[in-house]
Amino acid sequence: MHRVSKLPFSLRTALLLIAPVAAGLLAACTPDNNQSTFGTAGPVASDQADLFIFIFWIAAVVFVLVEGAIIYASIRYRRRSNSDKLPYQTHGNDKLEITWTIIPVLILLAIAIPTLTDIWEQQNGAPTDKGEVLNVEAIGHQWWFEFRYPDHEVITANELHIPVNRPVGFKLESEDVIHSFWVPKIAGKVDMVPLNDNYLWMMGDEVGEYYGQCAEFCGIAHAHMRFRVIVDTEEDFNAWIAGMHTASDPPAAGSAEASGKNLFAGNCSSCHTANSTTPGSYAQEISSQQARWNGWVSDIENSGIVSAPNLTHFGTRSTLAAGVKDLNQESLIEWITDPSTIKIGTRMQDHAAIYNTADGKAKLADAEISDIAAYLLSLKPGSGAMGETAAISSGDTLDGPELFATNCAACHSTGDDKIVGPGLAGVGDRAANRVDGLDADEYLEQSLREPDAFIVDEFTAGLMPSWEKLGDDSIDALITYLKTLK
């Protein structure tokens, strides 16, 4: 102990600094760490880990032999203090040279065979002999992950459900960023690149929730690009898919959720869809995403819309903001109030009209934000009494805010902000005085049925479709809702 205390100060400091860093790095080797590649939960990751261990031991043996030879030679043949004699000079030993050429060739061959086998098995698409392949399209965005299940017409974000022991074939795409898609315990990692589809397959062989992580520096939010993979039993997975096709129960009149639903329709629904449960909603969401992208890319500085996660059954998720926070009322309020405190670089704050304030915080009262959070957390599969098809023909769709969110919000804000069309705050009052001989109801009805009949100055004819197809009752419900916008 006496000796240790005599270590020079700088060395002790260095040890004190290095020890926690080394401990931190070694913690990643703990198999049960969430992001450790050693505790694997699927064949792709375990083949990759086995290959790593195999190469590691070969490298370790080479290291010990080479370093041992160097240490032995430098001690055995070191210069003696009392001798000026040159050692025996040699070059061109054929036996030695052939030996140290052949040994590395054999080592590299031993490494190449399993490496190429693994690459071959893992790069050739999902194997069909391990069970029915589930197809998923994973799309990178700034700054979130979108997941589409084309076979099931389900669309979601940041939390991916897959069935246990079934191969999942991924098509990896990206809209506007290069992420590296990685689920350390199950498979990884392949880049998501714009305009160039990549493919990856994985299979989870243990039910559980696994961490996903962007593994490549992609920009300001790189450190916050997480996602979750939930490996379900086949039964739970089917229930999840069925749930994604079951509408949420409408909130009780007068509840916080009902107020939140209206506020969401008015302030959030231009970018976020929250009701993709009906047949046809999958295709509609894909075209809405495209429209949001087109709207954003055509005017990146000023666009009021931007690609955004689909929030259908958001209340069933366990995380917020691409896996960064646990999802609860408190974290959701924090997120809606000032999203960049949770995720720097979020485009929501740059583009959504409600953040167009001096300090960038939402221009909503605390109670309003709390209501929106309550509404979002209430988004879960409903009782199913009004199943997929019933919801379309029943009174459910005669909900004005819902009709507005589904059909109008992509182009119209409920405030003063222009998106594609005019902001609709106070539209009822304006409508009453727009055309002589037409009252507000008549003006609004004609504008919905025949949009080009009256075009407001500065806006272009031919963009708005006729909403005749919604039917008389829905048009009435929409007009009633529009007149409430102040």
Least distance to ligand CUA, CB of residue 298, Å? 24
* Residues in contact with 173: Cβ distance below 8 Å, sequence separation at least 6, in sequence order: 137, 138, 139, 140, 192, 194, 197
What is the rounded distance in angstroms from the CA atom of residue 398 to the CA atom of residue 477?
Answer: 6
> 41 or 214, CB closer to ligand CUA?
214
Tokens read off for 465: 């479709």
CB atoms within 10 A of CB 85: 7
CA dist., res. 95 & res. 242, Å (int): 71
Torsions phi, psi of 356, nearest 5? -80, 65
Nearer to ligand CUA, 181 or 237 (CB): 181
Here's the x/- map for ligand CUA, 164-193, by CB under 6 A: it reads as ---------------x--------------
Judged by beta carbon, residue 178 or residue 333, the one nearer ligand CUA is 178
d(C-alpha 331, C-alpha 339), whole Å:
10
CA–CA dist 229, 134 (Å, integer): 14
Q: What is the DSSP letter of 437?
A: T
Burial 229-255 (b: 16+ CB within 10 A, else e): bbbbeeeebeebbebbbbbbbbbeeee
Total number of residues that touch ligand CUA (CB under 6 A): 7
109 vs 195, beta carbon nearer ligand CUA: 195
> How far is the C-alpha of 323 from the C-alpha of 144, rounded, in Å?
9
**What whole-number distance in Å separates Cα of residue 152 and Cα of residue 158?**
18
> Greatest CA separation found in the chain?
119
Report in angstroms how near the CB of residue 335 gets to ligand CUA at its nearest. 19
Nearer to ligand CUA by Cβ, of 189 and 245: the residue is 189
In this structure, how many other beta carbons lie within 10 angstroms of the beta carbon of residue 150? 13
Binders in 48-67 for ligand CUA, by CB under 6 A: none
Residue located via tokens 């704050």? 349
322/369 with CB nearer ligand CUA: 322
| Min separation Cβ 140 and ligand CUA, Å | 7
The dihedral through the CA atoms of 439, 442, 446, 448 has a sign that is positive
Shortest reach from residue 229's CB to ligand CUA, in Å:
16
Residues in 198-237 that interact with ligand CUA by CB under 6 A: 214, 216-218, 222, 225
Minimal distance, residue 346 CB to ligand CUA, in Å: 14
Beta strand pairing status for 134-141 and 168-174?
A: parallel
Residue 345-384 contact track with ligand CUA, rule CB under 6 A, x = bound: ----------------------------------------
Choose between 141 and 412: whose C-beta lies nearer to ligand CUA.
Answer: 141
Residues linked to residue 325 through DSSP beta bridges, in sequence order: 320
Give 134 or 225: the residue with its C-beta nearer to ligand CUA: 225
Burial class (CB in 10 A: 0-12, 13-18, 19+), 454: middle
Minimum CB distance to ligand CUA smaller for 182 or for 240: 182
Nearer to ligand CUA, 46 or 174 (CB): 174
Site for ligand CUA, rule CB under 6 A: 179, 214, 216-218, 222, 225
